[in-house]
């Protein structure tokens, strides 16, 4: 009896969710119907962080390819171009040792991005202040600390790529 009630409850919840028009994140496409392909050129880097633009570009391309909502193509074949700039990087100490040396740092990265239709130059979507942060451990070895920082940048680039992707398609 309890099992039947549980199944009935789950089915009713599924019907309610479907009736409300709820959709899972990243599945809605509000782009104009003529935009079926996009180009994602290498982001610009307005910071002193070496190669950060490549990390972010790679993460965004991977996210758009993974979702398969549009084809990622070369600029000459694209219906729209998603351009981006890594505008700012800030690193702060968030945890100190007893000797007041850094034990953990937080890196925050800001990105500006826009999607422009190629045939008429119309900006379809834009956000000038996307940001994301992550923390990483500081080691006595500068090499280990730099590796940890790179791993944090890569992780936050993946999260930002998902946010950027969802924003483009859902027009937030």
- CATH number where 150 lies: 3.30.160.150
Q: Residue 169, SS3?
A: helix
Q: How confident is the model at residue 135 (pLDDT cuts 50, 70, 90)?
A: very high
Tell me whether residue 82 is exposed, middle or buried, using C-beta atoms within 10 angstroms of its C-beta: 0 to 12, 13 to 18, 19 or more: buried
Residue carrying the six token digits 């000038």 = 128
Question: Considering the entire predicted model, what is its pTM?
Answer: 0.80
Residue 19 belongs to a domain: no
For residue 92, is it within any domain? yes
% the chain with pLDDT above 70 = 83
DSSP 8-state secondary structure symbol assigned to residue 77:
G
Is residue 22, in this structure, part of any structural domain at all? no
β-strands 44-45, 37-39 pairing = unpaired
Residue 2 lies in a domain: no
Diameter over CA atoms, the chain = 65
CB distance 109 to 89 below 8 Å = yes
| Residue 23 domain flag | no
* Residue 83, pLDDT above cutoff 70: yes
Residues 10 and 15: their CA atoms lie apart, in Å, by 9
Q: Is residue 74 part of a domain?
A: yes
| The pLDDT of residue 88 is above 50 | yes
Residue 8 lies in a domain: no
Pairing of strands 123-137, 102-117: antiparallel
* Choice among 45-54, 87-96, 145-154 with the minimum mean pLDDT: 87-96
**Half-sphere exposure (CA, 13 Å, Cβ side) for 69?**
20
Label the pairing between strands 102-117 and 80-96.
antiparallel
Does 94 reside within a domain? yes
Question: In the prediction, which pLDDT does 12 show?
Answer: 55
- The beta-strand segments (E) located in 80-122 are 80-96, 102-117
Domain total of the chain:
1
pLDDT band at 3, cuts 50/70/90?
low
For the cut 90, the answer to whether the pLDDT of residue 143 exceeds it is yes
Regarding predicted confidence, which is higher, 19 or 153?
153
CA dist., res. 120 & res. 11, Å (int): 47
Q: CB 48: neighbour CB atoms within 10 A? A: 7
pLDDT at 156 over 70: yes
Residues spanned by the domain of 45: 29-170
Instruction: Quick: pLDDT tens for 27-66.
Output: 678 899 999 999 999 999 999 999 999 999 999 999 999 9
């Amino acid at each position: 009896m309890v099992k039947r009630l549980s199944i009935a409850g789950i089915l009713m919840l599924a019907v309610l969710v479907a009736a409300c028009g709820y959709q899972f994140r990243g599945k809605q496409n509000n782009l104009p119907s003529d935009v079926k392909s996009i180009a994602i050129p290498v982001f610009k880097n307005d910071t002193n962080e070496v190669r950060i633009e490549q990390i972010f570009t790679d993460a965004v391309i991977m996210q758009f390819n993974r979702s398969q909502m549009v084809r990622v193509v070369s600029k000459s074949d694209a219906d729209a171009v998603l351009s981006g700039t890594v505008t700012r990087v800030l690193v702060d100490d968030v945890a100190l040792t007893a000797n007041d040396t850094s034990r953990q740092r937080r890196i925050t990265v800001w990105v500006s991005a826009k999607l422009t239709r190629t045939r008429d130059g119309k900006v379809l979507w834009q956000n000038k202040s996307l940001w994301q942060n992550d923390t990483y451990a500081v080691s006595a070895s500068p090499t280990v600390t730099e590796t940890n920082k790179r791993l944090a940048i890569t992780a936050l680039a993946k999260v930002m790529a998902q946010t950027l992707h969802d924003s483009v398609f859902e027009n937030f």
